[in-house]
Structures are given as structure tokens and as C-alpha cells.
């Protein structure tokens, strides 16, 4: 309890500090707890600040549904130091004492927060436009996902059964039938999260492709497909599947936002969702740019002039 109280107090202290800083500069604002936030809170806003970590930033992103929506800036209020990241994974303590890394946050409350906020409020920096996943289940469009979408049986010990629609352009439409631990699809910004941990490929943050992977596919009764259950959909292309298990769950950017699926439901996934304008850190941009092997940047080019080959 002492550990939880310490983290809570650290977060609230930083929230109060940021609120006071904004008030002193005459910023008209509304403060709301993340579980109480709705689309009405962001509809007329010029900027959305997410104070917490990556989870809070992802939850806030779901409230911004339109291309014309306000940009989003995440501030990590309890970030690990570089030394913490390198050492605290191994400890004599029986609990995990590591802090949030703030991958999607532009700054930290204990770091260059005032500098970054000043630049944003003055219009000296521009947000990065990131692709998001559009997920439609049985005709219902869900909130756009910034990182990834996982479709799986709600029990981690159960098999997920689904059929992916393939072909049809030069021949009859076909269905590829899969049994696995579920299907994950990710954007470029989400490619260094769960997808990378599962063996996927990091992508440049400006990419509009969608990466997918069958989790632990079962191949004991047939030869694996050419892609081994892993590949990409180009911008504008949709992945269409039919859910064949009795029950299932769609997880949007983690476990906070879910949607039930049932046998026979059709699900489509693509990066056709409205992009999100997110203020990102230089570390975020370097982390994604350096790992994209088929991307080059001409000399003297701006950030938006990357060439994806």
C-alpha cells in the first residue's frame, strides 16, 4: 500500500504542478479523470493533455475520432530514469519497482515539460500525424486504435478460431482457416510494443501500413502458409475475417477498451481510420526511424519528406 500511495502522490503532485503552470499563463482548461473523460470534453478543445503514461495517452486518443480533432500531448508523470530501465528489472524486491517509459509521451513532468509545453502553446512545434487502425465488428465501428488491436478468445487457455478472406482479385474468393491464440494487428507506432515482443518488425512512424500476426498458430495438421501468419496490409487495403469461436473479445490498445465478438461476426481491420495528431518526442521518432530498413531521407529534407520504398 505504501508503494501504491507513493506513486499516486507522485502523479497528483505533478498534475497540480502542471495545472498551476497552465493557469498562471491564462490557459482556459478543464481537468477530468481519465475514466470520466468523454468525447464532449475534447470536442471543442484546441489541445488535449494526457497526464499519466502511455496508457492514459492511449485512452485519450480514443476520444479523438475525427481528422479535425484536437492534437494530443502526453506527459509522463512517473517515468523511469535510464538507470532504472537498465537495472530495476532485476531486484531483491518481490515487486516490480520499474516506472513507465512513456513511449508515446512527448515529455516528462520532471524533465523538459515546461519547455515542451511552451513550444506547443506558442505554435513553435507541430504534431506528428500517426496512422490508426479502423476496426469494424458486425457493422459497428469501434474507437480507432493507435497502437494495436488484438482479437482473441477471452480465456488465454482457449483456442481462437477465425477465417481470413484472401484472394478474389484474379480468382474465386477463398478463406484461410486459422486456429491460434488470436490475431494481432498493429500500426507503425505500435510495432515496437507487443508486436515486436512477439517477433514482428519495427516500422517507421510515418508508415501507413498495417502489420498483422497470428499468435501461436497451430500447424500440426497442415503446412504453414507462405507468410507463416505474419505480414502487412498496404494503406487502403482491408483485412477481413470471420470469427468462428463461440465467444471472443476485441482489445483496443490493451485491456482498457474491449468489445465482444460472437460466432459468425465479420471483422475488418485497416489503417483507414482518421490519423491522430500526436506531439512526439525526438526519442520516439529516432526509435522508429532507425529500425525501418527500407526507408531513406534525402539530404536537406523535412520530417515529412521521408521516402518509404
* Span(s) in the chain for CATH 3.40.50.10330: 1-130+276-288
CB-count burial class (<10 Å; 0-12, 13-18, 19+) for 5 = exposed
Q: What gap in Å lies between CA 276 and CA 66, rounded to an integer?
A: 8
Tens of pLDDT, residues 82-140 = 677 677 777 787 877 677 778 899 998 877 889 999 999 999 999 999 999 999 999 99
Which SS3 state, helix, strand or coil, does residue 268 take? strand
Q: What whole-number distance in Å separates Cα of residue 240 and Cα of residue 165? A: 5
Parts of the chain with a pLDDT under 50:
293-309
Q: How far is CA 97 from CA 6, 88, 244, 275, in A?
A: 12, 6, 41, 34
Distance in angstroms (rounded) separating the CA atoms of residues 49 and 177 = 43
pLDDT score at 224: 61
C-alpha cell at 96: 516490480
* pLDDT tens for each residue of 41-59: 998 899 999 999 999 999 9
- Class for domain 1-130+276-288, per CATH? alpha beta
pLDDT confidence of residue 52: 92
Which residue in 68, 70, 35, 66 sits closest to 49, CA to CA?
Answer: 70
How many of the other CB atoms lie within 10 Å of CB of 218?
14
Specify the pLDDT at position 90.
Answer: 79
Residues of the chain with CATH 2.60.200.30: 134-270
pLDDT at 150: 98
Joined grid coordinates for residue 40:
464532449
pTM reported for the whole predicted model: 0.87
Separation CA 151–CA 142 (nearest Å)? 13
Q: Are residues 233 and 210 in contact, defined by beta-carbon separation less than 8 angstroms?
A: yes
CATH homologous superfamily for the domain 134-270: Probable inorganic polyphosphate/atp-NAD kinase; domain 2 (2.60.200.30)
User: 145: exposed, middle or buried (C-beta count within 10 Å: 0-12, 13-18, 19+)?
Assistant: buried
Give the whole-angstrom CA distance, residue 99 versus residue 223.
43
Residue among 281, 145, 139, 162 nearest 229 (CA)? 162
What pLDDT does 225 receive?
60
Amino acid at each position: 500500500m505504501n508503494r501504491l500511495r507513493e506513486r499516486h502522490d507522485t502523479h497528483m503532485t505533478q498534475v497540480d504542478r502542471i495545472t498551476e503552470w497552465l493557469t498562471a499563463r491564462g490557459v482556459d482548461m478543464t481537468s477530468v479523470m481519465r475514466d470520466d473523460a468523454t468525447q464532449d470534453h475534447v470536442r471543442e478543445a484546441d489541445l488535449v493533455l494526457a497526464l499519466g503514461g502511455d496508457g492514459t495517452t492511449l485512452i485519450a486518443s480514443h476520444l479523438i475520432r475525427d481528422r479535425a480533432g484536437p492534437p494530443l500531448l502526453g506527459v509522463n508523470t512517473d517515468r523511469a530514469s535510464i538507470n532504472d530501465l537498465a537495472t530495476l528489472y532485476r531486484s531483491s524486491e518481490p515487486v516490480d519497482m520499474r516506472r513507465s517509459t512513456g513511449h508515446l509521451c512527448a515529455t516528462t513532468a520532471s524533465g523538459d515539460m515546461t519547455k515542451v509545453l511552451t513550444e506547443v502553446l506558442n505554435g513553435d512545434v507541430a504534431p506528428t500525424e500517426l496512422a490508426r487502425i479502423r476496426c469494424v465488428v458486425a457493422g459497428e465501428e469501434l474507437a480507432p486504435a493507435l497502437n494495436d488491436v488484438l482479437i482473441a478468445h477471452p480465456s488465454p487457455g482457449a483456442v481462437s478460431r477465425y477465417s481470413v478472406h484472401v484472394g478474389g482479385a484474379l480468382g474465386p474468393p477463398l478463406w484461410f482457416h486459422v486456429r491460434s491464440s488470436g490475431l494481432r494487428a498493429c500500426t507503425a507506432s505500435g510495432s515496437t510494443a507487443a508486436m515486436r515482443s512477439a517477433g514482428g518488425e519495427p516500422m517507421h512512424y510515418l508508415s501507413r501500413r498495417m502489420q498483422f500476426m497470428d499468435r501461436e498458430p497451430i500447424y500440426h495438421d497442415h503446412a504453414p502458409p507462405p507468410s507463416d501468419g505474419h505480414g502487412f496490409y498496404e494503406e487502403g487495403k482491408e483485412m477481413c475475417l470471420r470469427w468462428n469461436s463461440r465467444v471472443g473479445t476485441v482489445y483496443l490498445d490493451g485491456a482498457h477498451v474491449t468489445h465482444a465478438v460472437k460466432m459468425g461476426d465479420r471483422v475488418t481491420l485497416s489503417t483507414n481510420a482518421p490519423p491522430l495528431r500526436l506531439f512526439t518526442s525526438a526519442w520516439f521518432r529516432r526509435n522508429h526511424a532507425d529500425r525501418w530498413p527500407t526507408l531513406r531521407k534525402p539530404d536537406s529534407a523535412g520530417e515529412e519528406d521521408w521516402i518509404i520504398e
